[in-house]
Amino acid sequence: MSGNSFHVHGPHEHELEHAAHANPSGMAGQLAVVTAVLATVGALFSYMGGAAQANAVLDKNSAAIKKTEANDQWNYYQAKGSKQNLAELAVVLVPADKRDEYAQQVQRYKAEKEEIKAKAEALEKESLAWDQRSEEQLHLHHRWAQATTVLQVAIALAAIALLTRKRWLEWLTIGGGVLGLLIGVAAALHL
């Protein structure tokens, strides 16, 4: 428009201009900022919860693998025990000139069994350690999920507060957001 023309604002333009210059610190503006922050933090917490859940599954899988390896070793231990028993029986049943050969086998099987037993017990300890790690990750997953849920409820409260224009709901929204953040901090600290 040129400098010589006369311009009259229509009612719609006036409302748009008023909205553009409106005080962003009002209830709607505050709730918009709070909701955006809560949604962003909630998305981060949701990601952390998913990562913790995936870690729990991977650790549980590792525990199962170690437990299977331990079971394999215990089966091997039992097989060596059966061979040792047969060799001990042979010492009693065979002629005297062959007893030394079977006595040596008995000693060899005893030594092999001790090595196998040690390996099986070590694998069982590894399995228990992986199980423990899985439980810790699952606990973290639950903490992150709790934090995310509380933030989602706070976001819903923000929408209700905006629709009803109730200040106490706005404060409840902020309180829910703070509670969700505290639960998220507890998860980050592995509590």
pLDDT digits (tens, 9 = 90+) for 155-180: 999 988 888 888 898 899 999 999 99
Residues 146, 140: Cα–Cα separation, whole Å: 10
Give the per-residue pLDDT at 8: 56
Question: According to the model, what pLDDT value does residue 20 have?
Answer: 44
d(CA 120, CA 114): 10
Which single residue is written with the structure tokens 């331990």? Answer: 70
- Contact assessment for residue 59 and residue 135, using Cβ atoms and an 8 Å cutoff: no
Average pLDDT over residues 127-131: 97
pLDDT at 9 > cutoff 90: no
Q: How many CB atoms lie within 10 A of CB 78?
A: 12
Model confidence pLDDT, tens digit, residues 59-89: 999 999 999 999 999 999 999 999 999 999 9
Is the pTM above the cut of 0.85? Answer: no
- Residue 170's nearest CA partner among 15, 9, 14, 25 is 25
Mean pLDDT of 148-153: 94
The per-residue pLDDT for 26 is: 74
* Helices 27-93, 167-188: inter-axial angle, 10-degree rounding: 30
C-alpha distances in angstroms, 2 versus 10, 14, 81?
18, 20, 105
Per-residue pLDDT tens digits for 15-73: 445 544 555 557 788 888 889 999 999 999 999 999 999 999 999 999 999 999 999 99
Length of the chain in terms of residues written: 191
**How many CA atoms lie within 13 Å of 136's alpha carbon, on the beta-carbon side?**
11
Q: Does the structure show a pLDDT above 80 at 92?
A: yes
